[in-house]
Amino acid sequence: MNLVVYIRCFKGIVLREALRFIHQKERFFSALVRPLVWLGIFAAGFRSVLGVAIIPPYETYIPYEVYIAPGLIAMIQLFNGMQSSLSMVYDREMGSMKTMLVSPIPRWFLLCSKLFAGVFVSILQVYAFLLIASFWDIIPPVSGYFTILPALIISGLMLGALGMFLSSAIKQLENFAGVMNFVIFPMFFASSALYPLWKIEETSEWLYLVCFYNPFTYAVESIRFSLYSQINFEYSAGIIIFTLIFLFLSIMGYDPSRGNLQKKGGK
Amino acid sequence: MTVALDINNVSHKFGDFTALDDVSLKISPGDFTVLLGLNGAGKTTLYSLITRLYNNNSGSIKIHNFDVRDQSSDALKNIGVVFQQPTLDLDLSVEENLHYHSSLHGISKAVANTRIKDEINRINLSDKLKNKVRSLSGGQRRRVEIARSLIHKPKLLLLDEPTVGLDIGSRQMILKHVKSLCKKGELAVLWATHLIDEIDKGEKVVIIHKGKVLESGGVATIVKKTKKKNIREAFNKIVGI
């Protein structure tokens, strides 16, 4: 099978995801409304309560809205990753996932293409969010709009791969709702999205450790640094390692000889 | 001689439950073979193994001499599948669904355009090409799925209870269409069903029950062997109902 075949397959999967996204306009708006509610209401209320000291990558005191913007960007990707995997559980229950899995093209490639397709959609949402966020004076340097892209791709892949692994392990659509509660909310709150790690460390050492080893923190911080055209090697290395782990687990999960598909019996 | 589908001694378990027990069957190019069994007989499990949704841990499954487990890519290239559950994306148009399938087989857009046109004409739905799948009737959706399963020119077509839930008119139309595909010689069809009235006299039948193949052969042979009047009575006798 030559490279052209793989490229056609990749294009087809991304195009399908893009078409689904265009057809489901409410998905786009809900993906935007969620972080904007946090930005417009939560951040406005907490800016007077929480003081943020000067920490890298910031060179001066910043309003709370500016601090939580990277966390909200990662939140968009987290929800998108989980929504993509939710659609995989739905597709599997409804049968349309089978269409993809019986393709002669290797399954790892199909799954990676599906992941990239989800990341592509999440990046569109992030740039739409950044555009609206500029009305809240969240305006990074111009270069930041470009340097954020690699961080968005890798964090989108990590969160999408996590969602894909979860989707392979979940038997029914109903069970997925419970997992969302046990994944999305703990991941978001126990991270550096809403408060800096040093602030959490002041409150609780164990909570600090939970936040520090939370993969979502690595996504948030990678996005934060890249938005200001900086790179933090610790977070960058961490996010790559987490991506590879989740990717490996999700490919194993959908492998017919090892994975979870067989255990489900008929699904 | 090439065998379109060659299944040898395949068993499959879900935990302690044996879904398939030492199943063997062969289908030659141009054959229309009915896999007849009640609900829960193991038909869908067998399809999942042939299409490598599940791995076969025992026995072998070959499609045109390609082993599904060891040469899955070559084997899957030769299979067209219509699953029991509808698998079209309801929010996309018929054309978008068919192009998506073409891309999963690495077919170029130009070739896909020609084949989509041919297949959609063959099922008399060319006027629905731009319509959303959601707007089609159940019978039309099934016909689109059959058209889709043929776009990559497979040599073996697997249909898992494709007429369930359809009205009599749609059932007959689909059955007639698929049987006509076989008559051209190259395409082999495995048609899983529990509806006995879908079987014609001259066809080959494989009777599966509780995961075991109990009988296989021509309709006339099975009827004669069981000393019954027709395939319905023969089936009832074989499965003990």
pLDDT tens digits for B155-182?
A: 999 999 888 877 888 888 888 888 888 8
Q: Are B131 and B93 in contact (CB under 8 A)?
A: yes
B106/A102 Cβ within 8 A? no
Q: How many CA atoms lie within 13 A of A179 on its CB side?
A: 21
B14/A265 Cβ within 8 A? yes
Instruction: Please check whether residue B164 touches A, CB under 8 A.
Output: no
A6/B104 Cβ within 8 A? no
pLDDT tens digits for A133-182?
A: 998 888 889 999 999 999 999 999 999 999 888 888 876 666 667 777 78
B81/A98 Cβ within 8 A? yes
CA of B235 to nearest chain A CA: how many angstroms apart?
Answer: 25
pLDDT of residue A174: 66
Q: Chain A contacts of B162, Cβ < 8 Å?
A: none
Q: Is residue A145 part of a domain?
A: yes
- Chain B (104-123) residues lying within 8 Å, Cβ to Cβ, of chain A: 104-108
By C-alpha distance, the chain B residue nearest A258 is: B55
B103/A9 Cβ within 8 A? yes
Give the residue with greater pLDDT, B7 vs A99.
Answer: B7
Relative orientation angle of helices A64-94 and A25-37, to the nearest 10 degrees: 150
Only one residue has tokens 């090892």, namely A258
pLDDT of residue A266: 40
- Chain B (24-63) residues lying within 8 Å, Cβ to Cβ, of chain A: 44-45, 48, 51-55
Q: Is residue A52 part of a domain?
A: yes
**Can you give the residue range of the structural domain that contains A205?**
3-261
Give the residue with greater pLDDT, A28 vs A141.
Answer: A141
Instruction: Please check whether residue A26 touches B, CB under 8 A.
Output: no
Mean pLDDT of chain A: 85
Q: Are B27 and B5 in contact (CB under 8 A)?
A: yes
* Confidence label for A18 from pLDDT (cuts 50, 70 and 90): confident
B89/A20 Cβ within 8 A? yes
Q: Is the predicted pLDDT of residue A216 greater than 80, yes or no? A: yes
pLDDT of residue A94: 67
- How much of chain B, in percent, has pLDDT values that exceed 90? 63
Distance from the Cα of residue B49 to its chain's centroid: 13
Give the residue with greater pLDDT, A97 vs A6.
Answer: A6
Q: Are B37 and B212 in contact (CB under 8 A)?
A: no
Average pLDDT over residues A33-52: 77
Q: Are B192 and B159 in contact (CB under 8 A)?
A: yes
Flag the least confident range among A17-31, A41-55, B3-17. A41-55
pLDDT of residue A267: 38
Q: Is the predicted pLDDT of residue A112 greater than 50, yes or no? A: yes
- How much of chain A, in percent, has pLDDT values that exceed 70? 88
A1/B106 Cβ within 8 A? yes
Q: Is residue A219 part of a domain?
A: yes
Q: Which of A9, A95, A262 sits opposite B104 (nearest CB)?
A: A9
Give the residue with greater pLDDT, B46 vs A52.
Answer: B46
- How many structural domains does chain A have? 1
Q: Is residue A266 part of a domain?
A: no
Mean pLDDT of chain B: 90
Q: Which of B12, B20, B54, B144 would you mutate first to test chain A, the one with the most A CBs within 10 A?
A: B54
B85/A104 Cβ within 8 A? no
Triad A267, B161, B185: Cα angle to 5° = 120
CA of B50 to nearest chain A CA: how many angstroms apart?
Answer: 10
* Confidence label for A52 from pLDDT (cuts 50, 70 and 90): low
Give the residue with greater pLDDT, A258 vs A28.
Answer: A28
By C-alpha distance, the chain A residue nearest B87 is: A96
CA separation for the pair B103, A15 (Å, rounded): 10
pLDDT of residue B177: 85
pLDDT of residue A136: 85
Instruction: Please check whether residue A173 touches B, CB under 8 A.
Output: no
Closest CA to A15 of B109, B134, B142, B116: B109
User: Which CATH topology does B5-78+156-239 take?
Assistant: Rossmann fold (3.40.50)
Instruction: Please check whether residue A207 touches B, CB under 8 A.
Output: no
Q: Which helix (H) or strand (E) holds A219?
A: helix A215-227
By C-alpha distance, the chain B residue nearest A261 is: B54
Q: Is the predicted pLDDT of residue A49 greater than 90, yes or no? A: no
Q: Is residue A79 part of a domain?
A: yes
pLDDT tens digits for B93-138?
A: 999 999 999 999 999 999 999 999 998 988 888 899 999 999 998 8
By C-alpha distance, the chain A residue nearest B104 is: A9
- Return the number of other C-beta atoms located less than 10 Å from residue B220's C-beta: 12
Average pLDDT over residues A78-88: 82
Q: Chain B contacts of A94, Cβ < 8 Å?
A: 85-87
CA separation for the pair B86, B178 (Å, rounded): 17
Q: Chain A contacts of B77, Cβ < 8 Å?
A: 104
Domain ranges of chain B: 5-78+156-239, 90-153
Bridge partners of B193, per DSSP, are: B36
Average pLDDT over residues A34-53: 76
Q: Is the predicted pLDDT of residue A53 greater than 70, yes or no? A: no
* Confidence label for B51 from pLDDT (cuts 50, 70 and 90): very high
Q: Is residue A267 part of a domain?
A: no
Distance from the Cα of residue B9 to its chain's centroid: 20
Q: Is the predicted pLDDT of residue B141 greater than 50, yes or no? A: yes
Only one residue has tokens 């050492």, namely A205
pLDDT of residue B64: 93
Cα separation values, B95 from A184, B106, B130, Å: 36, 16, 6
A8/B106 Cβ within 8 A? yes
ipTM score here? 0.85
By C-alpha distance, the chain A residue nearest B16 is: A263
Q: Is residue A33 part of a domain?
A: yes
B100/A110 Cβ within 8 A? no
Q: Is the predicted pLDDT of residue A263 greater than 70, yes or no? A: no
